[in-house]
Amino acid sequence: MKLKLKLKEQVEYMRDKKGIQFNIVSEQEAYEFLRTSTYYFKLKAFAKNYEKYSNPNTEQYGKYINLEFAYLKELSILDARFRNIVLKMSLDVEHFLKVQLVSDLSENPNDDGYKLLTRYLTKVKPDLLDSIKSKSKNSYSNNIIKKYEDGFAIWNIIEVISFGDFIDFYDYYYSYYPTKDSQNVKGKLLPIKLLRNAAAHNNCLINCLGKPYAREIEPNKNVMSKIAKIKRMPKKTREAKMKNPPVHDFIVLIDVYCNIIKSEKTLFRGFEALNEFLKVRCLKHKDYFIKNDIIKTNYEFLVKVVDFYAKLAYNKVEEQKV
């Protein structure tokens, strides 16, 4: 067990034991940041993007190389803003997936809104109804649950189930009634769920941009084939960056965002927010990271991919206008 440290002691520990410097942000400013904005355990997570002295025969062994507290502070702020973008885009995706499902169901002569759902609730997820009813007392959807608990239809049950359960039913429905749009997002919703859950629980997303990664993944082949069209991006770079879970999952989110969002205003606002974050806010203190290849190369990769998808999205809107 590690000793609990007071805030002032945490600053001293970073300075003396970890080699973190306070030339840009003073120790007093660091203390105030820890007191009002974040906490040490969360802040230190971003240090994973930096190297340590590895020679055990030196006094500096185990300390970080040229790491300023200011760099960690800036990364924590960027991470918070990035999480907000992830949540907003994920909520948009969830809404338009539901719009798509209900729209397709409305035009489907083979299902009345109850038929496939009944099969799903009895054979695939027999515990789902009990789960919905058990949370009704503490849910904003209490009125819907009370009204329809004895006879849910697709268009009202999707209002009271979790995003994970919705994804599961979405895949189930379109396994029986596939469409072009549903095929475009096939195999891409789980990464979005994982990313959204991490953002919703305030987990850090950009704290580990270099190896070892939090988990091993198999990059989505459809997305990989799309970004292979990006000019001046070596295959080696593309394959390496897409093995990083948060980078991969976010690019999958962007891909689905382009495919599923039918509202021109929503599409534009999403990319405007993303571009403002990447090309304005992220560059506010770009001098902090100019010598950090891990952060720099991941940023450059993400900008290229976002520009590629933004162009696809805007072209799609223009084609719809014609």
Give the pLDDT confidence of 150-162 residue by residue, as tens digits.
889 999 999 999 9
> Residue 322: what pLDDT?
39
182 confidence band (pLDDT: 50, 70, 90) = very high
Residue 317 has pLDDT above 60, yes or no: no
Written as one string, the DSSP assignment of 162-231 is: -HHHHHHHHHHHHHHS--HHHHHTTT-HHHHHHHHHHHHTT--SSS--SSSPSS-----HHHHHHHTTST
DSSP 2: P
Quote the percentage of the chain above a pLDDT of 70.
98
> Residue 316: what pLDDT?
63
Q: What is the largest CA-CA distance in the chain?
A: 75
Residue 109, φ and ψ in degrees, nearest 5: -75, -10
Three-class SS of residue 64?
A: strand
Residue 52, φ and ψ in degrees, nearest 5: -115, 160
- Per-residue pLDDT of 29-52, as tens digits, reads 999 999 999 999 999 999 999 999
CA angle 173, 177, 182 (to 5 degrees): 75
**Do residues 67 and 50 touch, judged by C-beta distance below 8 A?**
yes
From the number of C-beta atoms within 10 Å of its C-beta (0-12, 13-18, 19+), residue 55 rates as exposed
Amino acid, res. 50? Y
Determine the average pLDDT of the residues in 140-166: 90
Domains of the chain, residue spans: 7-74, 109-176
Find where tokens 């606002």 sit. 269
135 confidence band (pLDDT: 50, 70, 90) = confident
Length of the chain: 322
How many other CB atoms are there within 10 angstroms of residue 320's CB atom? 9
Mean pLDDT of the chain: 93
Q: Nearest-CA neighbor of 238 among 300, 310, 314?
A: 300
Determine the average pLDDT of the residues in 265-274: 94
Q: Nearest-CA neighbor of 149 among 163, 135, 162, 166?
A: 135
Which parts of the chain fold into alpha helices (H)? 7-16, 27-36, 40-44, 69-106, 115-119, 128-134, 142-148, 154-157, 163-176, 180-184, 189-200, 221-227, 235-241, 245-260, 264-279, 293-321
Tokens of 102: 């209900």
DSSP 242: T
Residue 146 has pLDDT above 90, yes or no: no
Three-class SS of residue 112?
A: coil
Determine the average pLDDT of the residues in 218-246: 95
> Residue 319: what pLDDT?
53
Three-class SS of residue 13?
A: helix
Q: What is the pTM (predicted TM-score) of this model?
A: 0.92
Determine the average pLDDT of the residues in 261-288: 96
Residue 204 has pLDDT above 50, yes or no: yes
Q: Is the dihedral of CA 25, 31, 37, 39 positive or negative?
A: positive
Tokens of 71: 């760099």
